[in-house]
Amino acid sequence: MPQTTDPTSLIARHEAGMFEYCRRILSETKTGHRSDTFNRLILPLCQPLVEAIGCRMAYDAGVKMNVPTELLALYEVGVIKMDSSWYVEHAGLGRQVQHEMEDRAASAVLPNLEMWLEKTNAGPYCIAPVLSQASWARFEDSLPCYSGNGVYEVISSAKDVPSYSMVPSARL
């Protein structure tokens, strides 16, 4: 498995932290890898660990391929939100900081989003009706229209809203 090109990146630190966490649990169990303790404590960490490795490798590949920094930042914050608590505990990134990072990254990507999407050349494979006004209109026109003789009243003020009590009624 290739080593990270930047061990100081948040994503690489997360991967290293996940490995260290697993090693520590394994060393503390003293029961080896063929035990119920191992199955309960280590096996559930396998998927998050593999995901951490994959995320780090994808991030490193993006850096190597000169992916725009705005897109890398958006990817990074997406990865952070996958294991938010780790970044709170080990990187000092509280919830508000994470939300601010996401806002900055999304705001930085938005002005060039159309251009970057076009560069993927994925257009021919995208069939969701929401992609254009015309395809959305065709989709809406294709939906069945149901009608009936139902009646509804619009509540015009707070005085028309029935009040309910949370206290149980004494009457049965």
Domains of the chain by residue range: 10-140
Q: Is the pLDDT of residue 33 over 80?
A: no
Q: Is the pLDDT of residue 80 over 90?
A: yes
Give Cβ neighbours of residue 45 (< 8 Å, ≥ 6 apart). 18, 21, 22, 25
Write the pLDDT tens digit of every residue in 42-51: 899 999 999 9
Domain spanning 10-140: CATH 3.30.70: no
Q: Is the pLDDT of residue 166 over 80?
A: no
Please tell me the predicted confidence (pLDDT) of residue 70: 97
- Cα angle vertex 134, ends 130, 137, to 5°? 75
Question: Measured between alpha carbons, how far apart are the two ends of the chain, in Å?
Answer: 70
Q: What share of the chain is helix, strand, coil (3-state, %, to 5)?
A: 65, 0, 35
Burial class (CB in 10 A: 0-12, 13-18, 19+), 106: middle
Q: Which residue has the higher pLDDT, 149 or 166?
A: 149
Please tell me the predicted confidence (pLDDT) of residue 11: 98
